[in-house]
Structures are given as C-alpha cells and as structure tokens.
Amino acid sequence: MDWGLGHAARSVPLIKELCAKNDVVIVCGPSAYGFLQKELPDVEIIQIDDWRIRYPKHKINFFTILGWIPVVLRNSIHEHRFVKKIVRGRGIECIVSDNRYGLLYKGLECYIITHQVYPKMPKGFGFLENLGGWIFKRYLSKFKKVLIPDFESGDNLSGSLAADRNLPPEKFVRIGILSRFSSIDNGQLTIDNSKLSVNCQLSILVLMSGQENQRTILENMLIGALDGCGRDVLFVRGVGESRAPLVDTENIKFHNLLSGNDLRDALLSASLIICRAGYSTLCDVVALKKRAVIIPTPGQTEQEYLAARLDGRFGFRSVSQGDRDFAEKIAKAVIV
C-alpha cells in the first residue's frame, strides 16, 4: 500500500525472509520505490501507479470516504490487471500484498497483510460497522491467509480492528509485531539487539508520514510548537528527496528521509518520539520500547481509534491535532 511509507517499511523484514529461499519481485508505487531500493538493493522492483488519494484540508467525514470508493475500486482493477501481466510473464506462484485488495488470483497462493478486519466508521455512522466488518471479513476470507501484524495473545495494539472470537485462526493468523527493526525467527518476530548501535544522543525525534494535505498541516504546527523549545529536535519529514529541504533552525535539524540504519539509530537514541498514529509507526515504536506522543490524522477513524485506545499504554500519549492548546500540550510533553 502507498499511503505513506509505513506499509513498505513494515514489509522489509518479511521480504528479506522470503528472499532467502525464493526469487522475489517487488511491485510498489513511486512513493515507496526509492525507499525500497535503498533497503533492498539486490531485489528487482517494478513501479505501479500510486492510488492518488489526497486527504482534504478539512476533517474527513463519511461523505469524503464515499468519494474515495470509486477511486479505490478503479485502482484495485488497475493494479489487478497490471500485476496479471507480471504473473503471466514471470511464472509467479505466490503473491503477498500489503493492503492491496486487488491482488487476488485464482490458482495462486495469495496472502494479504492487514490489521483492519473491521474498519472503523466516522462518528454518527457507527451503525454501519457491523455490516462493513461482515463484508470486509468475507472478502478477506478469499485469500489463502490474512496475516495480522499484532501480538498473538494478551494485550494487543489493533484492539477491535482485528479482534473477533469468530475469526478462524487457520485463515486469520497473528504473526506478531511487524517492524523493519525486528527479525524473523521460526515464524515469530523478535528484536535483534545485537545488531543495533547508537551513534549519538538525541532528545526529540519527529517522524512525519501520511497523505497530503494533512502531512504538511501537522508539519507546520509541530515546527511552530518545537522551534525554540530548548531541546534538540531531529525532524524527519517523510517526503521524497525531490522535495526541497527545509532550513535548519537553532534547535531543529530537518531531513526529508533517513535510511534504515540512520533511522534505526535515531529511534534508539531519542528520548521522545512524536509521530502520527499510523499502525506501522506504532509497531516500530513498540518494537523498540520507546516513549511517544501520537497525533492521529483528523477524521482518519483508524488512527483516532488507535490513539484513544493506546493513550497511556505501551508508552504512548495521545494529542489531538484539533486541540486549541495543541502547542501547549506538545510543549508539556517535551518537558516531561
């Protein structure tokens, strides 16, 4: 999936594991192409068009989501046809897709990675969640397996997004936290601390991600809140290198992107992380056992649910982008 780099990043350890015993071809959008080239330089990568869904400047509502449905359907059909040519030309036997719902082919082993079996509806439309969940589960059941990146038992991250006593365990499989900062061992994902090193001491790490225009809106808000806060800040914007870089301030150093090793070291050495409530980012933070302030994208129901659910748990503290005292809350979190 190409809604930010999170989906591409969390797939890296899985791709590496598959490459050990298989010939692998990656298909991804332009936004993830450069990142995956750096992370997996020896793997063939083919570009497919991005979905081109932009978030509005105003808060997302039910009618915004309705407007996305034709785009999602059109792109699902397009990606199905695009990959069909690759399947026929390369003799592909298995497909693993990360939230790409159009990649379902008869006669092939098709797997899908998702933490959303039961999508959340906007406020006022909660009565549609049961129907939406039923439709989603029926469609996902057509895949050979649905791989849920969450803890196998006990307290989990996804909550009711992927929790149902009626989910058949042979079809819906929890594979543990999926993070590029994890390694795969006998089907379980565990942190390999021996390969991690810290080259610097960092105070605050800001990780921006997600779709425009909300990414830029939050970026400007955080710069205003953190500029001159008295603590060193590494601000990773989560945009391609083609974007013009921002000028460093007295206490904020900007990067459009960081490579896997550099980002890993930054995450390890940061005393506080500020980020969106995207599920892939949350998995990275939990995998490295870090403290974080999470800011859900306004109107993105999944992130709003996760932020509310995880506030005060796993080291997370939630702040709403729409709070009038947003800057004050960020400043308070920075001091603590």
Structural domains of the chain sorted by starting position, each given as residue range(s) with its CATH number in brackets: 6-193 (3.40.50.2000), 195-335 (3.40.50.2000)
pLDDT digits (tens, 9 = 90+) for 224-241: 999 988 899 999 998 877
pLDDT at residue 58, as a whole number: 59
Quick one: pLDDT at residue 166?
76
pLDDT score recorded for residue 190: 38
Residue 4: per-residue pLDDT: 61
pLDDT in the model for residue 220: 95
Please tell me the predicted confidence (pLDDT) of residue 187: 39
All residue ranges of the chain with pLDDT < 70 are 1-4, 50-69, 71, 124-125, 154, 165, 182-202, 336
The model's pTM:
0.80
Measured CA to CA, the distance from residue 330 to residue 317 in angstroms comes to: 10
The predicted pLDDT at position 188 comes to 38
Name 169's Cβ contacts closer than 8 Å, sequence gap at least 6.
Answer: none
Of 214, 180, 209, which is closest to residue 283 (Cα–Cα)? Answer: 180
Q: Which structure tokens are listed for 190?
A: 């565990």
Q: Distances in Å between the alpha carbon of 327 and those of 123, 204, 227? A: 26, 15, 11
